């Protein structure tokens, strides 16, 4: 994310999907998640990283981004009048704008673990 901040121009927009960390670490159960988890595992690309939605704004802000919106996929579908039946809420969509280009800093221990 720091790299993205460093190459993006002022007021750039970032839209990303992510997995709720509760699914990864097992601290939260999500309806309809089992089939999705099995599917990505069978494809050889299991879910291994996620964010806690409550922590996302701070994570992004520390890297120069302002979180504008963060919705679960059912919330996003409902916003546009679409059915969210059987759509898991662990998958999320975030929208942010670049507010400042952070000065380079040494990676945090969490960033090192992600590499």
Confidence band, pLDDT 50/70/90 cuts, at residue 2: confident
Per-residue pLDDT of 97-111, as tens digits, reads: 999 865 655 677 776
The model's pTM is 0.80
Task: Give pLDDT, residue 45.
Answer: 95
Q: Rounded distance, CA 55 to CA 22, Å?
A: 12
Per-residue pLDDT of 22-56, as tens digits, reads: 999 999 999 889 999 999 999 999 999 999 999 99
pLDDT at 112 over 70: no
Task: Give pLDDT, residue 40.
Answer: 94
Q: Are 94 and 104 within 8 A, CB to CB?
A: no
Residues 6 or more apart whose Cβ sits within 8 Å of residue 13 = 95, 96, 97, 98
Task: Give pLDDT, residue 58.
Answer: 96
């Amino acid at each position: 994310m720091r790299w993205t901040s460093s190459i993006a121009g002022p007021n750039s927009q970032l839209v990303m999907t992510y997995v709720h960390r509760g699914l990864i670490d097992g601290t939260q159960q999500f309806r309809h998640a089992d089939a999705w988890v099995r599917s990505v595992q069978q494809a050889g690309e299991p879910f291994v990283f996620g964010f806690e939605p409550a922590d996302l704004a701070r994570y992004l802000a520390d890297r120069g981004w302002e979180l504008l919106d963060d919705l679960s996929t059912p919330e996003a579908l409902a916003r546009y009048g679409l059915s969210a039946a059987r759509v898991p809420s662990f998958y999320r969509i975030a929208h942010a704008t670049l507010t400042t280009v952070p000065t380079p800093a040494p990676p945090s221990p969490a960033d090192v673990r992600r590499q």
